[in-house]
Amino acid sequence: MRNMTNQISAADSVLEQWLADEDARRAVMNNGVGPGVVTPAQMAGKNGLEAMQATLQGLAPYPSIGKTLDFMLMEVDEGRAVFQGTPGPAHLNPMGGIHGGWYAAILDSALGCAVHSKMVAGRGYTTAELSVNLVKAIGKTSRVRAIGTVLHCGRQLATAEAKLVGPDGTLYAHATTTCLVFEIPSQLKV
């Protein structure tokens, strides 16, 4: 019983930190450019990691789908991206569970941004394949995190994996992606 109490306390502590991190990140992003689509001028000369960091700093727009689905980018490093979110009543399927599309969207965001962080200036990517495995229903939880990590990034293909976890470490879903890597057309460059 004592071990279970320690696990709950540890999860509560992690959740408290996640919520504080989210409040701080949301303040920066909302006081910046806000939601929208990045322009070629905002991307000019930046590699993928620099572009993602500009979003975190509020210097470039963040994707509006995050507002719709209640998740947001929390961290990005080379080859790694973390999103945090909360599925709510608007994300339920007809049977009352969290719609599989919500799981897929937050995982795809973590996967894609992890791949994006590996792009050199002038290179882009698009998802060619996405595979999602739902392993446990998300119950009444405040937050989950999707943690995406690049496995391979070459000239033409990139692959990545992601896990969707709760503050107690519970695995809710995992996913993989294959992305096509390409040169960004010159008319889109500034």
DSSP 146: E
DSSP assignments along 167-188, one per residue? TT--EEEEEEEEEEEEEPPGGG
How much is the pLDDT for 41? Answer: 85
Prediction pTM value: 0.92
Strand blocks (E) in 90-168: 123-134, 144-153, 157-165
| CATH number of 11's domain | 3.10.129.10
Q: Is 46 helix (H, G, I), strand (E, B) or coil?
A: coil
Gap between the Cα atoms of 120 and 126, Å rounded = 15
Backbone torsion region of residue 128, taken as left when φ is above 0, otherwise alpha when ψ lies between -120 and 50, otherwise beta: alpha
The arrangement of strands across the sheet holding 71-77 comes to: 71-77, 80-85, 144-153, 157-165, 171-183, 123-134
For 156-171, write each residue's pLDDT tens digit: 999 999 999 999 999 9
Give the confidence band of 9 by pLDDT, cuts at 50, 70, 90: confident
Percent of the chain with pLDDT strictly greater than 70 = 93
Report the number of distinct structural domains present in the chain: 1
Residues 6+ apart with CB under 8 A from 87: 70, 98, 102, 138, 144
For 48-102, write each residue's pLDDT tens digit: 999 999 999 999 999 999 999 999 999 999 999 999 999 999 999 999 999 999 9
Residue 35's domain comprises: 2-188
Amino acid in the structure at residue 121: A
How much is the pLDDT for 133? Answer: 99
Lowest-confidence segment of 47-51, 73-77, 114-118, 181-185 by average pLDDT:
181-185
How much is the pLDDT for 142? Answer: 72
How much is the pLDDT for 139? Answer: 84
